[in-house]
Chains A and B, each alone.
Chain A
């Protein structure tokens, strides 16, 4: 496969990865290799240390005091399913938002249809902003859980999780945050913000491999009444045919992705070493340049529409745009074929967000920057989109859709 010249799909998965992450995975396979917690010999103990090292790193970065409250899953989707299916029972009411990803909406809709859950989806503004007061107004006596996307995977808008956490606590309701996009990308502490359940993935801004992720479980969560998603061997309480009731074993039946967790620890340590604030500052500056560059294309920005909040301080380095007169699918294909730019097009597994934005069903083109994105990459992307927008403009002129427009080069 020819390597894309410019990778701008970090919201899907970050790439490239730090060399230390790759080295850690190789070292794990070559020097460790055993199954953690399944035997008492030294290789198994070494494997258990690898897993615990990953817990400690995640706990340190995300502000959790007890690493044993870091439960590992294969990804954020599994973590979200664990929380939703493990905590909700028929008759419960859940409040969520109009900017959620399908990893939240699909299990919620399934629970609504199959298990008698009632659901309220609080609308957001077209640029993805959520009014916390609207969340509070949606609460009912039966509300058990509020589920909020920390930051949109479509347009990068950061939602007011701290305020919603305060509302949840005042009303005795749990808060589940989908942190798939925010973990490692924004500086925050899960503990300090008062978040009860935080789902994360390892392969985006934590710079670990795919196949890693987890759920942080706070002290307000009743672990005894929290059902596992998977029951099975844990290497603990082996004489019992009943799943252990303590963290993290209760929710980690089966062998963990040890080599992946070795990589996850290395990725997280890489982020910690560089500093989330420093990474964010660099990404924020490039995002501002990207937005300004795209908005500046054509006639006062009408040729290219950039969705989401304009302020780079209030969003992640994830930018969705549409080109007047050219479908997102064509834009994406041509960015890839003609300019070597990897972008994601369509609905980004978040149809509610696109309905909120007014871009359903066609979707948008999404460019998502990362720690390895350069200023040259941003400039190249803007130039490429400018060229495509000009072509789209010429097509529209030829069709008479822009009367009186100059069809020559700008």
Chain B
């Protein structure tokens, strides 16, 4: 059962820009390393709680954030939460 939605972006620069957009939309998020199963391109991606996925997608689109992929994943929450 997916627990989080990951948004893949071109670079850390884009990730921070996306983070700003999500914060402005009051969507809790965290920047995490891109899982190798999703991409070999290193860097960070934006992680939000699964239930916030649609709101996050809308907020990122509204802000013009370049998103290269959206993935619903199961990721055990080890106390870090969806946000920072």
Which residues of A come within 8 Å of B, CB atoms?
36-37, 39-42, 44-45, 48-49, 51-52, 55-56, 66-68, 234-240, 244, 246, 248-249
Q: For B11, what are the chain A residues with a Cβ–Cβ distance below 8 Å?
A: 37, 234-237, 244, 246, 249
Q: For B84, what are the chain A residues with a Cβ–Cβ distance below 8 Å?
A: 42
Nearest residue (CB) in B for A234 is B11
Q: For B34, what are the chain A residues with a Cβ–Cβ distance below 8 Å?
A: 40
Beyond A48-B31, A239-B41: 13 further Cβ-contacts under 8 Å?
Answer: A37-B11, A37-B12, A37-B43, A40-B34, A45-B15, A235-B43, A236-B11, A236-B12, A236-B42, A237-B11, A239-B40, A246-B66, A248-B13
Nearest residue (CB) in B for A237 is B41
B33-A52 in contact (CB<8A): no
Select A40's contact among B16, B20, B31, B66, beta carbons within 8 Å: B31
Q: For B12, what are the chain A residues with a Cβ–Cβ distance below 8 Å?
A: 36-37, 44-45, 48, 235-236
Contact A48 B40, CB 8 Å, known A40-B32, A40-B34: no
Q: For B44, what are the chain A residues with a Cβ–Cβ distance below 8 Å?
A: 37, 40, 44-45, 48
B13-A48 in contact (CB<8A): yes
B41-A236 in contact (CB<8A): yes
Interface residue tally of chain B, by bracket? Answer: 20 to 34
Select B14's contact among A40, A41, A68, A240, beta carbons within 8 Å: A68
Main secondary structure of the interface of B (DSSP, over half): mixed
Distance, CA A391 to CA B84, complexed state (A) = 68
Shortest CB-to-CB span from B30 to chain A, Å, is 9
Which residues of B come within 8 Å of A, CB atoms?
10-17, 19-20, 31-34, 40-44, 64, 66, 84
Q: For A238, what are the chain B residues with a Cβ–Cβ distance below 8 Å?
A: 40-43
Shortest CB-to-CB span from A96 to chain B, Å, is 32
Contact A249 B41, CB 8 Å, known A39-B33, A40-B33, A40-B34: no
Nearest residue (CB) in A for B11 is A236
B13-A52 in contact (CB<8A): yes
Q: For B17, what are the chain A residues with a Cβ–Cβ distance below 8 Å?
A: 52, 67-68
21 contacts between A and B (CB under 8 A): A36-B12, A37-B11, A39-B33, A40-B43, A42-B84, A48-B13, A48-B31, A49-B16, A51-B16, A55-B13, A56-B20, A66-B64, A235-B42, A236-B12, A238-B40, A238-B41, A239-B41, A239-B42, A240-B41, A249-B10, A249-B11
A48-B15 in contact (CB<8A): yes
Nearest residue (CB) in B for A55 is B13
Q: For A37, what are the chain B residues with a Cβ–Cβ distance below 8 Å?
A: 11-13, 43-44
Shortest CB-to-CB span from B9 to chain A, Å, is 9
Distance, CA A215 to CA B45, complexed state (A) = 26
A236-B10 in contact (CB<8A): yes
Select B20's contact among A36, A44, A52, A66, beta carbons within 8 Å: A52
Distance, CA A5 to CA B43, complexed state (A) = 49
Q: For B42, what are the chain A residues with a Cβ–Cβ distance below 8 Å?
A: 40, 235-236, 238-239
Distance, CA A56 to CA B34, complexed state (A) = 25
Contact A68 B40, CB 8 Å, known A40-B31, A246-B66: no
